[in-house]
Structures are given as structure tokens and as C-alpha cells.
Structure 1
Amino acid sequence: MATSSRASAAHDLDPRAEAILKFWVGDSFLKAGLGAFPQDKTKLWFMSGPEVDEEIRAKFGGDLRKAAAGEMDSWRGYNGLAAVILQDQLARNFHRGTPEMYAYDERALALAEILQEDGSLAGTPIIHRFWLALPMMHCESLAGHELGIRFSKTLQKEAEALGPPPDEGLMDIINAEAKHAESHKACIEQWGRYPHRNKLLGRPNTPEEEQGFKDNAIPAW
């Protein structure tokens, strides 16, 4: 990875963005190689529970309030990545089991789309840019899913072309996300939204969704 690319992404790194990124992708994220994979973070990403939720509430509540007020909408590079992770990932821990889990999704999606296009994260580790694909998978827009799938395929090709091979776990997570992106898109194509969110969001089920729940045809991610 070119030093200039990393320096550009980290230009004027906000202290709060740095705190978010160190928490999520590791203290040495600025020194990580293109194919790096922080093994010690997988439990945080995929198996966290109430204790982690409380830690996130204590550490990042103020940041979420700033994000909700639009104060991070103009962030780019690593600052922007931190804002995406905060609003797409940490918000789900912070507000677990409440409608507010999804309250930041539109901002996260809009910013992730910008960061995918503007090149401000060019040359940064693949696992860092991986988090830009998740808002597309979480959204209820078919166009968003299509963009996310294209981006996921780009990351796959980049990871496959690495030499020497990427750190253990990188290809697994990239390939798994690409597979999940396709299944999530299929849900949106069939139902137009994620019906499993209806109850939490106070949305009535359509007759078709009611039948889908009875038939166990609707996934509950």
C-alpha cells in the first residue's frame, strides 16, 4: 500500500474518529497491511453481548448524538469510515432491541456511498473498507443492495489478487459477506423491505408477509 494513500486517508484524523477505529479495528490500524485481519476483533464484531453494549454506550454515546445532528456528514477518509462504523455498527449495539437500532442507517448509507466513490480510502486495508459494504446490506433499498454487491465483488477480487496471501480470516469474511449480500438482496426483491423488522418498528405486516411468517419463508437476521 502506498504511504501517500494511507496518509491521505488519515489526514486531519479527528480524535473521536481515531477512538472509534481503534476500538473497532485495532490500535495499530494505521500501520496495518493491505491484507491484514485483526483476529482479536472477531468476537466484538459477531459475538458481542450486553457487556459490550454497555461499553459502547459509555464510550460512544456522545459521538452518536453528534452523528445524529449531522456533525459527521462531511467527514471523509478515515474520519468518514469511523462515522460509518459508528452509525451502522455501534448504533446497533447501543440501541439493541429498540427501533433506534436503525435510526442512523440512512446517514451511514449516504456516507458509505460517498466514501466508495470519492477514493478517500484508496489503498487502505481491505478489512477497513469492508465496513462500507454493510450499510448497503442493511438498507431496504434495492439500489443500495446492488451497489453493495458490486463493491463486495471489488473487495473479493482485490483480496484474491493479494500477494503474499492475506492474513487468515480475511477471505472468509469477505466471501461470507458477499454471500450474505446476495441473500439479503433476494429478501428485498421479494418483500420490498425486511419484514422481520416490522414488529420492532411498529409496521403492520402485509397479508403476504403474514403468510411468509407462517411458512417460515422470511429470514430473521
Structure 2
Amino acid sequence: MASTSAPDPAIQEILDFWFGMNPQDWFMGGPNQDKIITERFSHLVEKARLTDELDKAWTSTPAGSLALVLLLDQFTRNIYRVGNHPEPGLSFSGDAKALRVASQAIAKGYDRQMQKDNASKMLMGLPFRYFFYIPFMHAEDLAAQVACGALYEVMKQELEVSKAKREAEGRAETEEEKQVGEAINAGVDFAKKHLDCILAVGRFPKRNEPLGREHKEVDKEWLEKYPDGF
């Protein structure tokens, strides 16, 4: 009988840490969160970023794929925080690989599987699906941005189907269902803003300085128009 190796315990550690925190801290965490992530996970981020050591074993499961995406797409932004790290360009150094891992995972249905497997947890498991899509939003690539918008629109359509079913049953919307709807609509809106930037500029101008890129005139015009943009 062929033996199957047990999952790397680091996978569950990453997921428990990330999805155990206050959702506001995913995108608005401060120096303390950056410090914790650096201390606990920087060795794994470096391994994921610079080697293929984790790739085969981790990408063979939905949970492992999501954990790898988080290391490459989220934890890099904490560890190499722009404004706080001497090499801020490293914040984006895992993006290309994160997009590749996320694309392969979605093709296998891992995004939906993770939501289903965690449906009893926060927001009916939505965040476990949501974070597979963020690498598309982070990509300075038009095709990836179009795909990102489509992925969020699918979730919005599913939300409308659920709403129609609920109304047909005469059932009131729960607070959690309301929060899920708000999260999906926010994702759709945020995806559109990223797409608009790539359509207009072709890249995210706020990355120019940390990446050592020269500002073009179109970059300057965009930042003047949208100072809180990307």
C-alpha cells in the first residue's frame, strides 16, 4: 500500500494565524503585526519566494495552495513593508509566483473547495476563497485584472442566486449573510479600481519609487487625480 505523507503542519499554522485575526488587520495591520509575521514566518516566506521546495507538496492540496499564496502575496507585504524596510521592492517579489499558484489552484477548484470546507467559519468561509483572487488584483497585467473582475463577478452572481432563493423561502437575511454580501460587493468595487488603473496607466504608479522606476507623465497625472490610489 502506498503511503501518503502527512501535511506540513506549517500549512495549518499559517491558515490559523491569518484567518484567526481581525479581518481589518488583513489590510490595515500595523507594525506589531508586521513584527509578528516576520518573526514567525519570514523563513517560510524566503523558502517560498526563492526556492521550489514547498511547491509540489503544498500545491497538491487546497489548504497548502492557499497557505503558499498567503506567504507569497500577503506576508511579503508585511515583512518588506514599503516605508519600513530598506528593500521595499521585495514587497512585490512574490507576486508573479503567487499568481501562478493561485491560477493553478482555481483551475483545480481549490478556491471553492476551501470555502466549502470552512463554511462554518467566518463569513461562511468566503475569505478562504477570496484570498485566491487577490494575486490577480495585485498583478500589473491587463489579462489578470480582467480575470480578477470576472472572479469577483461570479461571487456576486452566486450571491444574487442565494438572495433570490432566500426571498422565495420567505427567510430574512441574517447578519452574517449581510456581511458576506458587503464583502463581495467591496471586492467587486476594489477589483474595478485596480483594473481602471491598469487600463489607464499600465502599472501601479505607487510602486514606482519602491521598485526604482521612473515616474512617467501618465503616472504623475494618475497620482494627482487619485492620490489615494495604487
TM-score by length of 2: 0.78
Opposite residue 128 of structure 2, the aligned amino acid is: H
**1:43 to 1:211, Cα distance in 2 relative to 1, 3 A:** closer
Aligned to 1:197: 207
Aligned to 1:107: 97
**1:84 to 1:219, Cα distance in 2 relative to 1, 3 A:** same
User: Is the contact made by 1:88 and 1:108 (CA closer than 8 Å) also made in structure 2?
Assistant: yes
> Is 1:206 the counterpart of 2:216 in the alignment?
yes
- What is the rounded CA distance, in whole Å, between the counterparts of 2:112 and 2:222 in structure 1? 42
Opposite residue 107 of structure 1, the aligned amino acid is: K
Opposite residue 58 of structure 1, the aligned amino acid is: E
> Is 1:58 the counterpart of 2:39 in the alignment?
yes
Aligned to 1:84: 69
- What is the rounded CA distance, in whole Å, between the counterparts of 1:130 and 1:217 in structure 2? 25
1:23 corresponds to which of 17, 20, 26:
17
User: Is the contact made by 1:142 and 1:189 (CA closer than 8 Å) also made in structure 2?
Assistant: yes
Deviations along 1:102-133, one digit per CA (max 9) or x if unpaired, are 00000111111111111234333232010011
**1:62 to 1:202, Cα distance in 2 relative to 1, 3 A:** same
- How far apart are 1:79 and its partner, in Å? 0.3
Aligned to 1:7: none
- What is the rounded CA distance, in whole Å, between the counterparts of 2:79 and 2:161 in structure 1? 37
- What is the rounded CA distance, in whole Å, between the counterparts of 2:137 and 2:17 in structure 1? 22
Higher relative contact order (CA closer than 8 Å, sequence separation 6+): 1
Rg bigger for which structure?
Answer: 2
Aligned to 1:136: 136
- How far apart are 1:77 and its partner, in Å? 1.0
1:43 corresponds to which of 24, 30, 50:
24
User: Is the contact made by 1:196 and 1:219 (CA closer than 8 Å) also made in structure 2?
Assistant: no
**1:205 to 1:20, Cα distance in 2 relative to 1, 3 A:** same
User: Is the contact made by 1:94 and 1:101 (CA closer than 8 Å) also made in structure 2?
Assistant: yes
- What is the rounded CA distance, in whole Å, between the counterparts of 2:216 and 2:138 in structure 1? 21
- What is the rounded CA distance, in whole Å, between the counterparts of 1:87 and 1:178 in structure 2? 23
**1:190 to 1:121, Cα distance in 2 relative to 1, 3 A:** closer
Aligned to 1:4: none
- How far apart are 1:65 and its partner, in Å? 1.4
- What is the rounded CA distance, in whole Å, between the counterparts of 2:137 and 2:214 in structure 1? 23
User: Is the contact made by 1:133 and 1:148 (CA closer than 8 Å) also made in structure 2?
Assistant: yes
Tell which deviates more after alignment, 99-108 or 167-176. 167-176
Identity %: 29
- What is the rounded CA distance, in whole Å, between the counterparts of 1:157 and 1:73 in structure 2? 33
Paired residue secondary structure (2:214): coil
**1:16 to 1:160, Cα distance in 2 relative to 1, 3 A:** farther
- How far apart are 1:12 and its partner, in Å? 4.8
- How far apart are 1:219 and its partner, in Å? 4.8
- How far apart are 1:70 and its partner, in Å? 2.2
Paired residue secondary structure (1:180): helix
**1:24 to 1:159, Cα distance in 2 relative to 1, 3 A:** farther
- Name stretches of at least 5 consecutive residues in structure 1 with no aligned partner: 1-10, 27-39
User: Is the contact made by 1:77 and 1:115 (CA closer than 8 Å) also made in structure 2?
Assistant: yes
**1:90 to 1:145, Cα distance in 2 relative to 1, 3 A:** same
Paired residue secondary structure (1:41): coil
Say which structure is richer in helix. Answer: 2
Paired residue secondary structure (1:193): coil
